[in-house]
Amino acid sequence: MRNARLWRTLLGVEKTVVEAIDFDDEAGVLVASVRPTGSVRNRCGICRRRCPKYDQGHGRRRWRSLDAGTVQVQVEADAPRIRCREHGVTVAAVPWARHQAGHTHHFDAQVAWLATQTSKTAITALMRIAWRTVGAIITRVWEDTAATYDPFANLVRIGIDEISYKRGHKYLTVVVDHDSGRLVWAAVGRDKATLGTFFDALGEERCAGITHVSADGADWIAAVVAARCPAAIRCADPFHVVKWATEALDEVRRGAWNDARRAARTGEAKRGRGRPSKDAPARPHSTLAAGVKNSRYALWKNPENLTEKQQAKLAWIVQTDPGLGRAYYLKEGLRTVFKLPYDEAGEALDKWVAWARRCRIPSFVKLQKSIVKHRESILAAIEHGLSNGRIESMNTKIRLITRIAFGFKSPEALIALAMLSLGGHKPVLPGRN
């Protein structure tokens, strides 16, 4: 009796009778023969209702348990089938493992914890399981975890964004709670239908309780939020708005570089190989092209972060190419708007729009139309101090999870691991509180 209790504790099984312990010399595996107690016998593996027995199934089967030192341990028991009124003929539930799983609860819990802490390769070596098995375990652990709490409770201010998780334009749509900083929801895709499934899960009553939504300027996000949460204040992410200006600036830089290269090809004599002679004619267009090409980071970075060399490069750009210099000041002018208090930001933004409208730089003339379109959400972001900073941080962590895991065969496993790691309910090691 004492040995049975000891082995039940070591195996981490409850409501289970340990019948025998044997060592399989051929496989090098410790085998624990067990059976469920009467209170949990002949229950449906899905709904856990007591059901009439159907047959003995395919005989005895085994489940992987945590290793005992260096020896692999397996739990062996009969696997009868029952007839459930709701789910039909299915394998009876066992108290030591999930339905249709080949591993015990403790084994799954340890794999899930390791998946949030280390690489998938390390898990497969330590736990002696296949590459795809880790993803399957993570998915079923997350399904059980998600059933224990309400992920949408007290959801008031949310951020929405998309993230690429695989080459070939494979995206996830993610939703983050601004107040708690946790990942609330994620799904494959980045379109209206994908985001609509989130609001379907949220329900009409909770949709009405959403007060603020931050996102980039994607029309598909704005359309769904306007339809499902009409009372919510939509805030445009300042980072993405400034990114639009940076992209417009880079378009001007590339145009200036191409113009200088074209002028160098058509208006300057070609030189031979080697160092030019002292009396060789100057090549101003080639010099300009080389200078513009190497000015990307001087133009992109914030002025306070420029090195001395980049400051000199920026001063040279402003003197040699007034159009590119004007584009740089337009970018910085828009960035400055987000530093102003709300009372001053509206007027400053209107002045910037007027400046961009008459600047005669096509990329900024086009940009000001987008700014006018999103003016209300831009000012709302300044007033309420909301940005997608939390979401961008979350996306970085998801990318790190993907890199640590060296890729997943299915996005569902990635979503499950992201939710386990970032959803506020991390798995714990067996035997720990």
pLDDT in tens, 228-253: 999 999 999 888 899 999 999 999 98
What is the arithmetic mean of pLDDT over 191-206?
Answer: 93
Range 122-129 average pLDDT: 91
- pLDDT mean over 81-102: 93
* Token pair for 167: 């080459």
Q: Are the C-beta atoms of residues 263 and 285 closer than 8 Å to each other?
A: yes
**Minimal CA–CA distance to 332: which of 370, 294, 306, 366?**
306
Token code pair at residue 153: 């409770």
**pLDDT over 50 at 1, yes or no:** no
Instruction: State the amino acid at position 349 in one-letter form.
Output: L
DSSP string, 298-361: HHHS-GGG--HHHHHHHHHHHHH-HHHHHHHHHHHHHHHHTTS-HHHHHHHHHHHHHHHHTS--
Q: Report the sign of the C-alpha dihedral through residues 219, 220, 224, 229, in that order.
A: negative
The pair of structure tokens assigned to 36 is 């469920």
183: which strand partners?
Answer: 176
Q: Write out pLDDT tens, residues 378-405.
A: 999 999 888 888 888 888 898 888 777 7
Distance of CA 401 to the CA centre of its chain: 8
Confidence of residue 282 (pLDDT cuts 50, 70, 90): low
Asked if residue 174 lies in contact with residue 391, where contact means CB atoms within 8 angstroms, the answer is: yes
Q: How far apart are CA 81 and CA 89, in angstroms?
A: 7
CA atoms of 222 and 42, how far apart (whole Å): 51
The pLDDT of residue 58:
86
pLDDT at 155 > cutoff 60: yes
CA 274/CA 15 separation, integer angstroms: 85
Quote the pTM value. Answer: 0.81
pLDDT at 132 over 50: yes
More confident residue, 392 or 420: 420
* H-assigned helices in 203-307: 204-209, 219-228, 238-267, 284-293, 296-300
Length of the chain in terms of residues written: 433
pLDDT of residue 422: 93
CA–CA separation, 424 vs 146, rounded Å? 11
Per the CB < 8 A criterion, the answer to whether 405 and 87 are in contact is no
Q: What's the CA dihedral at 106, 87, 203, 142 to 10 degrees?
A: 20
Average pLDDT, the chain: 88
Q: Which of 60-74, 310-324, 336-350 has the lowest mean pLDDT?
A: 310-324
Contact 82, 43 (CB under 8 A): yes
**What is the distance between the alpha carbons of residues 405 and 408, in angstroms, rounded to a whole number?**
7
Mean local confidence (pLDDT), 193-210: 93
Using CA atoms of 260, 265, 268, 273 in order, give the dihedral in degrees to the nearest 10.
Answer: 110
For residue 24, is pLDDT > 60?
A: yes
What's residue 432's pLDDT? 78
- Model pLDDT, residue 160: 93
